[in-house]
Amino acid sequence: MKPLRQILGAASGSDKIIALSEGDDPRVAEAALMIRKEKVARVLLVGDPQKIADNLANYGTTLEEVTDDIEIHDPNSSPLIDEFRDTLVTLRAHKGMTPEIASAQVRHRLTYAALLVQTGRAHGTVGGAAETTSDTVRTALQIIGKAPDAAMVSSFFFMLYCKEHHTVKGAHIFADCGLVVDPDANEMAEIARASAASYRALTGETPRVAMLSFSTAGSADHPKVSKVVAATHLAKVADPDLIIDGELQFDAAFVPEVAASKAEKSALGGAANVFVFPSLNAGNLGYKIAQRVGGATAIGPVLQGLAKPANDLSRGCSAEDILHMVAVTVAQSDALDQTQKAPEGAA
């Protein structure tokens, strides 16, 4: 778990505030205490204060004991409701949002948490322990919105290999496995570039991007293969320094011996660490097979391309999963800070 420990270590002592939209879920309360112990972030729990207090009591803790690190916001009685109503009307007026509708919507936990981020009261938000991915992502898109310099919003899974049977140890990114259903060549190229940036931000290492297909180096002729070839070219044109190759089958991107026979001219040499799938169908199946059959730890889906971090959880997540996602969210916020501080024209 070295890559994950690096992320947790980097976040240790962070002053970032992360809003957890399902604060009254028992797993979230347990995670909040873990986050507090690890000093990964300052936590803002959105939910019923009494339910949160009851959940914390199950771990021998009272609200009074954690007030320095854990803040509670009840969307039904928050003094921010009127401000958030007006903000939501401003953000969504073009979609017919009225004060009456907004007054009701800001009391929804996902909406409230996203507005905490939009108004600068939190640096990021994590949800999805109980809410669906579609609701979690849609709320983030509508309220936090796309980053000005991002062509699109996509997602990835941070895949960790730490078991004894794993021949390759460390971290990979699989994208897009949770959001973009059928990317065209331009979109696939953007997913590749965004995923490379995410890999660098999370690991500090150089990304090596494989554009995946059922064909390697022209072994098959099909429009779906041509899309991957075009996407690889577009990504190279947009970022000539990016180490990227495609189209490649997974084994040619992952196993050096296979790369030597199937793709001997590939710059990756069978050592890719970012894998871009040609469709959500392939990506979602791929990460679940790696997780359930291969024993990889999968953190995600992590969203990329938003103005500020907002991430989704699996509804089957554990408290430890939530801790990990909060650490990733802090890393994204730190990377965003660095980007905003960079001088004009700098990469």
pLDDT band per the 50, 70, 90 thresholds, residue 165: confident
| Dihedral class, residue 206 (left if φ above 0, else alpha if ψ from -120 to 50, else beta) | beta
CA distance 99 to 105: 10
Single pTM value for the model: 0.88
Mean pLDDT, residues 229-238:
98
User: Can you name the residues that pair with 125 across neighbouring β-strands?
Assistant: 19, 310
Residue type, 334: D
Alpha helix (H) residue ranges in the chain: 2-11, 26-38, 49-57, 63-66, 81-92, 99-105, 109-118, 133-143, 185-203, 223-238, 250-254, 256-262, 280-292, 319-341
Q: Which two tokens stand for residue 210?
A: 């494989």
pLDDT tens string 66-85: 888 899 999 999 999 999 99
- What are the angstrom distances between the C-alpha of 168 and each of 44, 147, 257, 296? 37, 34, 13, 11
pLDDT tens string 127-151: 999 999 889 999 999 999 999 989 9
Q: Which two tokens stand for residue 317?
A: 């997540």
Residue type, 271: A
